[in-house]
A and B are shown apart, each in its own frame.
Chain A
Amino acid sequence: MPVPHNRNRSRSAFRLVGILFLVLTATVLLLRAGDNPGVHVPSYVEWTPETIATASSGDAFRGLLLSRHCEHCHGAEGFSQKADTPNLAGMDRLAIWKQLQDFRAGKRVSFPMNPIAQSLSTKDVADVVAYYAKLPVFYDPDDHRAFPEPAPDPVRKGVAWRLINFGDGERGIPPCQACHGPVAYRPGAPALLTQNGPYLLEQLEAFANDKRANDINEAMRTIAQLLTDDERHALAEYYGAGLGMNPGSAVAPR
């Protein structure tokens, strides 16, 4: 009668496999825990050609339907009524796609935007981004938008103009237009020319004190920290007044 004998041995085989499995799990957990302690990953977005292809693959018509959920805050024409909510009309797709990915992953923290972005699928994000990128930026007096705001005084205007066009070589501040356009665009850098001033100021301050830390390789945090408080105000007011745009595009004809 070999049955009890067999059952014993098969039980020990089970035990052997069980122990092996536990050892493997423990090793994996230990290796993974010991691998990168306290690494702050600013964003999971990597600007590989595949990422750029995914981010640009949206269907603008489907985006139009989805944008119904965004209108209330970001405006029917992509220009918001409140100056601390960003305008999305005509923004580069890659830039707002990245922000939505970061909102989804919790890499950029915003009370309204985190749950809203998490309710969108990967495809939804590409679609809605394609729609907003196509929206025109011309002036519409019937749209109760906050943009543009009154221009800053000439001294501040001059400070901002110099930083945008030339930066400050002595302090190592590159010109804003070298990454944010219109001179050159870095992937993921939003156009600032039609953005609301108070929103820009909020973001620059958040970058400067590390409250917003989703910029890749610390680029904007470094720049915002190098700017003085006055310069941050001047830059936000300059952009928020629609200065630097082609005359007559999104600004009321004067």
Chain B
Amino acid sequence: MNWRKIRTFLITLFVLLLIPATRFYQIDEPILRMFRNPRRVDPFSLHVEGEFVESNLGTEQNSDGSVTVRMIAQQYLFIPHCILVPAGVPVHLRITSPDAVHSLAFLGTDYNVKVTPGAISVAEMQLPRAGEYKTACREFCGAGHYAMRSVVKVVPQEQFPVLQPGERGACAAQ
């Protein structure tokens, strides 16, 4: 056997295996992600993979001092039920729904974010004064709609736990 043939065979085999392997191990995910709509999510698999898995929900500290709040609005609950944010800091809200159209309205303010299954709703907000805000769903979503409420606790910045970028704050820890 000619070594050249062996080499060609092995390299061809390697390349041919590489193609299914990249898909199987999802090595191409970062590349594919660039071509996907970044506001799109699969409403059925929020709990399994992606941005809205359990450990990713709540208030995340960003390195520029702002915070990102990730929530799920579902029939008939907001998850997490209580959100902790520092006062006077830019808040990037990211929220999605696994089932029906909802909205997240901050009672006593102008903020009302519509939430659609399959899409990530984003909102930029800033809550200047410390205090407890009640939120409610303002988009009729079914039998338990009127009980779909949650709490946003705004605390002075010095009371917000000191977090490293990427770390999360929660009401329970308060």
A residues contacting B by CB (< 8 A) are 6-7, 9-10, 13-14, 17, 20-21, 24, 27-28, 31-32, 36, 38-44, 46-48, 166-175, 177-179, 183-184, 186, 216-219, 222-223, 225-226
Contacts and interface: CB of A to CB of B under 8 A. Distances in A.
A253 B104 CA distance: 47
Interface of B: 2-3, 6-7, 10-11, 14, 18, 21, 25, 27, 44-49, 53-57, 72, 74-81, 98, 142-144, 146-151
Contact of B27 (A9, A27, A38, A184): A27
Ranked 3 nearest A-B pairs via Cβ: A174-B144, A178-B144, A10-B3
Contacts of A172: 77-78, 81, 147-151
Given A31-B27, A44-B48, A172-B77, A177 B10 contact: no
Contacts of B21: 24, 28
Among A39, A44, A184, A225, residue most surrounded by chain B Cβ atoms (within 10 Å): A39
A16 to B, nearest CB: 8
Grouping DSSP codes into helix (H, G, I), strand (E, B) and loop, the B interface class, with mixed when no group exceeds half, is: mixed
A9 B10 CA distance: 14
Contacts of A178: 75-76, 142-144
Contact of A41 (B47, B57, B144): B47
Nearest to A171: B149
Among B18, B21, B55, residue most surrounded by chain A Cβ atoms (within 10 Å): B55
A174 B145 CA distance: 8
A169 B55 CA distance: 27
Contacts of A9: 3
A226 B81 contact: yes
Contacts of B49: 36, 39
Nearest to A169: B147
Given A46-B44, A172-B150, 19 more contacts: A10-B3, A13-B7, A17-B14, A28-B25, A31-B27, A39-B55, A40-B53, A42-B47, A46-B48, A167-B147, A172-B77, A174-B75, A174-B76, A174-B77, A178-B143, A178-B144, A184-B142, A217-B74, A218-B80
